[in-house]
Amino acid sequence: MACERPARLSESPGTPAGAAGTLSREDKRDSDAISLGPVAERQVVASSAPDERWSRAFVFDPATRLIVRTGQASIEVDSLEGAMGELRRIAQRAGGFVADVSVQSGRHQLRQATLELKVPSERFDELTEGLQPIGRLEFVNVGAADVSEEFVDLSARVANGRRLEERLVELLRTRTGKLQDALSVERELARVREE
């Protein structure tokens, strides 16, 4: 949609995994605004799949970090629909997708849209650089969070749960005795598998 006056696209902070912003246009006859959700990515600098080493000794190399990056931006644009389409294409080219879209109309028929984009960590900068050609960039805010400790903790829990499951299955397979004992092991096994 072509507009006589520019629209404003601005990203607003949001979820940890996606891109966000708000696009708006002030035109008394037909105003458009788009809001993009936060841009989040996971960047694994170096990692390995959890294995027996993780469960035996929970030692985490400080050089191996897991980083989640988020970004918000605001862009003034001429066309709300055109900008939304371009944001979808940028996310797809970066190997990501649009996770959430919200379009609202406000006073003076001002429309606003919020989009949340999710992209792989190694393509995060490509996504943020792709915002400039859409319109006049009003602001960009990029942040990062180290989630390495949470990853190690979760990996340890998963490894412990798998070991417990194996022991319960073995106990159930080799145990002879009361039906009540077998049912108790089955219940515990079901609980462990849920976690």
C-beta of residue 186 within 8 angstroms of C-beta of residue 172? yes
pTM, entire model: 0.53
Residues 43 and 69: beta-carbon distance below 8 Å:
yes
pLDDT (tens digit, 9 = 90+) per residue, 77-87? 888 899 999 99
d(CA 195, CA 189): 10
Question: In whole numbers, what is the pLDDT of the chain averaged over residues?
Answer: 70
Asked if residues 88 and 18 have their Cβ atoms less than 8 Å apart, the reply is: no
Residue type, 177: G
**What are the C-alpha distances in Å from 70 to residues 4, 25, 104, 141?**
33, 25, 24, 8
User: Token pair of 30, please?
Assistant: 């037909």
pLDDT in tens, 164-173: 888 777 877 7
